[in-house]
Amino acid sequence: MAFSPIEIALIAVIIIVLFGASKIPELARSLGKATGEFKKGKNEIENELSDINKPGKESKPAEISSSKIKTMAKDLGIATEGKSDEQLLDEIQKKMIKIEKKV
């Protein structure tokens, strides 16, 4: 969804009126930090998923991999009960794609 220049200007004026000109840099920094933290967390989860799926890597005991998968799923708000690791990995991947599209 693209905004027209008039809509962007109106939003900017509203932000200045609500927060004052002195608070805008602080808000921008906070937004930047939050975006950075989100991307960092997303990259960590993607790295863990790729490590789990890499063939030829030293295989870890199944319990460790399974517990990591369940922890990742729970962190993303996915119910884990009664689901296999493969089902959880599929749901994690779908959730990550949805999150990525939002950002």
Q: Which domain holds residue 70?
A: 5-102
Q: How far is CA 18 from CA 9, 12, 15, 27, 57, in A?
A: 14, 10, 5, 12, 54
Number of domains in the chain: 1
Q: What are phi and psi of 33, to 5 degrees?
A: -65, -45
Looking at the chain, how many residues does it have? 103
Contacts of 96 (CB under 8 A, 6+ apart): 42, 45, 46, 76
pLDDT along the chain (103 residues), means of 10: 86 85 84 90 85 63 70 87 87 83 70
Contacts of 48 (CB under 8 A, 6+ apart): 68, 72
Query: What is residue 49's predicted lDDT score, i.e. its pLDDT?
Result: 81
Q: How far is CA 46 from CA 18, 20, 72, in A?
A: 38, 39, 10
Token pair of 69 as six digits: 């998968």
The structure's pTM equals 0.42
Query: What is residue 103's predicted lDDT score, i.e. its pLDDT?
Result: 63
Number of neighbours of residue 24 by Cβ within 10 angstroms: 13
